[in-house]
Structure 1
Amino acid sequence: MSRLGGPALRLTVLVGESDRWHHRPLYSEIVHRARVAGLAGASVFRGIEGFGASSLVHTTRLLSLSEDLPVAVVIVDEEERVRAFLPQLDGMVAEGLVLLDGCEVVTYAGRGPARDPGRGSGRGETAGPGETAQ
């Protein structure tokens, strides 16, 4: 399992739920790319109401506007790793907001080593039975 603690950088990408990247939800593509890049983790949060640069309010209270609710993708990792990931977002986020802010990781714990043979982040994972540590 990766170790992450102390100073870190939080990347927050705010987009619309209906935003797409090559017929796939944009938020899903960002999470997939973050995993491939070996980042510590990514979470997607669906908003119940919000507006952006267009000033159009999207809300669950109006059926016609509930199909494009705000979505936040949050990624936290070491500053160098997050900054190295930023070019992945170029061209993908045509409408939305990309934020960076410093934070402090107090606890980062998982359920156990991920079972994805042949792929490791190179940050100290432990090997399971029959596996080689990377």
Structure 2
Amino acid sequence: MTTTRSALRLTVLVGESHTWHHRPLYSEVVHRAHRAGLAGASVFRGIEGFGASSVIHTSRLLSLSEDLPVAVVIVDAEDRIRAFLPELEELVTEGLVVVDPCEIVFRGAPRRTADDGPEGGRGEEGGHTR
């Protein structure tokens, strides 16, 4: 049996060289998402791209870039994503934050937990969607 659940996908697009207090910005976003109890976060390194500066950054051998694009992707329930957005206001001064609706697809019925209420769980492990 396959079930779906509505969620939001939060994507934070920054440069690999962007930092927050001498730490990679993407890493700070991941650690704050973890502390906030979000379902999970993944970081994807781009091979080519450009942003507001219009400078193309690429991983091609002849034009090695030290500022490749990086995407941090987080998917969770709408209320949890929206509650996390203020954390990003101070962090992402350059880059882009995108929030879009999505559906999470579960094979089999998601487990219910005590804090899920009458409509069922948001997923596994403490009510988070994983």
Provide the residue aligned with 2:126 in structure 1.
Answer: 123
- Counterparts of 1:124 and 1:94, CA distance in 2: 32
Q: Distance in 1 between matches of 2:37 and 2:50?
A: 32
Q: Which amino acid aligns with 2:13?
A: L
State the partner residue of 1:26.
Answer: 25
- Size of the alignment, in residue pairs? 108
Tell me the secondary structure at the aligned position of residue 6 of structure 2: strand
Moved over 4 A (4+): 62-65
More helix by share: 2
TM-score scaled by structure 2?
0.77
Q: Percent identity?
A: 74
Structure-1 residue corresponding to 2:55: 56
- Whole-Å separation in 2 of the counterparts to 1:28 and 1:63: 28
SS of 2:98's equivalent in the other structure is strand
Which ranges in structure 2 are unaligned for 5 or more consecutive residues? 108-124
Q: List gaps (5 residues or longer) in structure 1.
A: 109-121, 126-134
Structure (1/2) with the larger strand percentage: 2
Deviation at 1:94, TM superposition (A): 1.0
Q: 1:106 to 1:57 in 2, by over 3 A?
A: same
1:8-34, Cα deviation, whole Å (9 max, x unpaired): 000000000000000000000000000
TM-score normalised per structure 1: 0.75
In 1: Cα distance, 2:60 partner to 2:97 partner:
26
